[in-house]
Amino acid sequence: MVGYSLLLIVILSLVAYYVGRSSAKRFAGGAGSEKIHSLPGYHGAFIAVWVGIPAFVLVLLWASFQGATLDNLVLASLPSGFTEGKSPAELNLALSEIRNLASGRTFGTPAPEIQLAAERLVSWQNIASWAMLVVAATLMILVLVFARTRIAPRFRARNSVEHVLSGLMIFCSVVAILTTVGIIVSLLYESIAFFRLVPITEFLFGLKWEPQIALRPDQIAGAGAFGAVPVFAGTLLISAIALIVAIPIGLFTAIYLVEYADDRVRNVVKPIMEILAGIPTVVFGFFAVLTVAPAIREAGGLLGVVTSPNSALAAGFVMGIMIIPFISSLSDDALRAVPRSMRDGSLAMGATASETMTRVLLPAALPGIMGGILLAASRAIGETMIVVMAAGLIATLTINPMDSVTTVTVQIVSMLIGDTSFDSPKTLAAFALGLVLFIVTLGLNVLALQIVKKYREQYE
């Protein structure tokens, strides 16, 4: 029925548009008539917007509240003999049975009260849906008639439409902002719940991370420890390896493209970098697991180094490949933004191209390059898929890249999949990790954007 209502809204809005336009045209056409303020199309749009939007909001609200209201009505209508002495959970169970029955899914033989209630629910649903349709239609027609009377030569339909449009855009951006705020609030809320169970100091400074505690009394598991230091250390280790791989390669690529490559090379290399940036991280993940990790293990074996199968090196190396395009394209922009006169000035002093690069262009572009590196770092720290596939699960506190380490994102994933309940410290710990991760990457991003912005102003 909601579908029909939406269809009706579209149809009536179109009708409203034509009504508005044709009645405005009548003014416009009349000989010696007053000059019309807005084009007829704006009059049509004005009416259409006022017919469509309120009805649309009404239908949405109606549809979202109808279910809950009807549930309450059905529960209230159950005979008191049936509800007597039942806990809320049992009542909920009965309610879902009624709902299932009403939508035609029968399991076993339902109790007669439930059968009756289901029939009642079906008929009420019918009535409510029709009522919604009728109310929406009435509303639209009333608005149409009323708005039609507003149409006059001097009516500023164009400005009104403008207002409505800007309102619509504000609404959309508010939705985006509210979603973000909502996510942060829920993250905070769950983290606070976690910090009630585990003290925040233990979480931030504890050196032991063993979150696999018993969910049910009959399970055998460790006592649990929630010191996040090893997890963050693992993240830092892998990100550091990634940056060590990506910074030189990305930076030298950018330098080569800006200063040395001719157009032909540039036209080949740039699209390839874009392809690299577009590869899904899961593909990088299995590249890490299937190719890089075994290669490193073998190389380690040849050199006589003990290498864990999930070495930090494999995950970090592949992550480094992934963030190369970030660093190279942002460094490229930063180098290009250095005015040509700097370059000419240096060359005219008799400097070679590489002297010009290291002594003038790089220092001048350094803030922008730093910004790019920080953005890449925050990307690496928050990266999930590669490390879930290629890094380990055990939190070891080490700086040996051949060891297996775990990362924040890996822990979050492993805590939230499988057999979980939403009030155990194990699950809540995921939110606390997420919160800290969010704060770190947000900080890095803000810093990076600040730096990039500052250097933009420098030459303008």
Partner 1 sequence: MAQAALAPRDAAPAVFQTVRTPDLHPRPTKVKADTVKVFYGQKQALHGVTIDIPEKAVTAFIGPSGCGKSTFLRCLNRMNDTIDGCRVEGEILLDNRDIYDPSLDVVELRARVGMVFQKPNPFPKSIFENVAYGPRIHGLARSKAELEEIVVASLQKASLFNEVKDRLHEPGTGLSGGQQQRLCIARTIAVSPDVILMDEPCSALDPIATAKVEELIDELRKNFTIVIVTHSMQQAARVSQRTAFFHLGTLVEEGPTDHVFTNPSERRTQDYITGRFG
Which residues of the chain form contacts with partner 1 (CB under 8 A)? 339, 341-352, 355, 359-360, 363-364, 458
Instruction: Give the residue with the Cβ less far from partner 1, 274 or 355.
Output: 355
Distance, in Å, from the CA atom of 426 to the CA atom of 223, rounded to the nearest integer, reads 11
Q: Work out how close the CB of 362 gets to partner 1 at its nearest, in angstroms, rounded to a whole number.
A: 11
Please give the biggest Cα pair distance in the chain. 100
Instruction: Give the residue with the Cβ less far from partner 1, 96 or 352.
Output: 352
Distance, in Å, from the CA atom of 345 to the CA atom of 356, rounded to the nearest integer, reads 9
Q: Work out how close the CB of 39 gets to partner 1 at its nearest, in angstroms, rounded to a whole number.
A: 47
**Of 123, 125, 117, 121, the residue nearest 83 (C-alpha):** 117
* Whole-angstrom Cα Rg for the chain: 32
Q: Work out how close the CB of 448 gets to partner 1 at its nearest, in angstroms, rounded to a whole number.
A: 20
Q: Work out how close the CB of 456 gets to partner 1 at its nearest, in angstroms, rounded to a whole number.
A: 14
**∠ at Cα 312 (310, 316), nearest 5°?**
120
Instruction: Give the residue with the Cβ less far from partner 1, 40 or 367.
Output: 367
Do the Cβ atoms of 416 and 427 come closer than 8 Å? yes
Instruction: Give the residue with the Cβ less far from partner 1, 96 or 354.
Output: 354
**Of 262, 39, 270, the residue nearest 157 (C-alpha):** 39
Instruction: Give the residue with the Cβ less far from partner 1, 77 or 352.
Output: 352
Distance, in Å, from the CA atom of 405 to the CA atom of 230, rounded to the nearest integer, reads 8
**Of 10, 141, 24, 5, the residue nearest 66 (C-alpha):** 5
Q: Work out how close the CB of 292 gets to partner 1 at its nearest, in angstroms, rounded to a whole number.
A: 40
Instruction: Give the residue with the Cβ less far from partner 1, 263 or 419.
Output: 263
Handedness of CA 92, 93, 97, 98 (dihedral sign): negative
Instruction: Give the residue with the Cβ less far from partner 1, 84 or 262.
Output: 262
Residues whose CB is less than 8 angstroms from the CB of residue 138 and which lie 6 or more positions away in sequence, other chains included = none
Instruction: Give the residue with the Cβ less far from partner 1, 105 or 340.
Output: 340
Do the Cβ atoms of 407 and 231 come closer than 8 Å? yes
Q: Work out how close the CB of 330 gets to partner 1 at its nearest, in angstroms, rounded to a whole number.
A: 19
Q: Work out how close the CB of 248 gets to partner 1 at its nearest, in angstroms, rounded to a whole number.
A: 24
Q: Work out how close the CB of 261 gets to partner 1 at its nearest, in angstroms, rounded to a whole number.
A: 12
| SS3 per-residue string spanning 298-360 | HHHHHHCCCCCCCEHHHHHHHHHHHHHHHHHHHHHHHHHHCCHHHHHHHHHCCCCHHHHHHHH
Do the Cβ atoms of 119 and 104 come closer than 8 Å? no
Handedness of CA 225, 230, 234, 235 (dihedral sign): positive
Q: Work out how close the CB of 30 gets to partner 1 at its nearest, in angstroms, rounded to a whole number.
A: 58
Instruction: Give the residue with the Cβ less far from partner 1, 202 or 259.
Output: 259
Q: Work out how close the CB of 365 gets to partner 1 at its nearest, in angstroms, rounded to a whole number.
A: 10
Instruction: Give the residue with the Cβ less far from partner 1, 163 or 359.
Output: 359
Do the Cβ atoms of 403 and 417 come closer than 8 Å? no
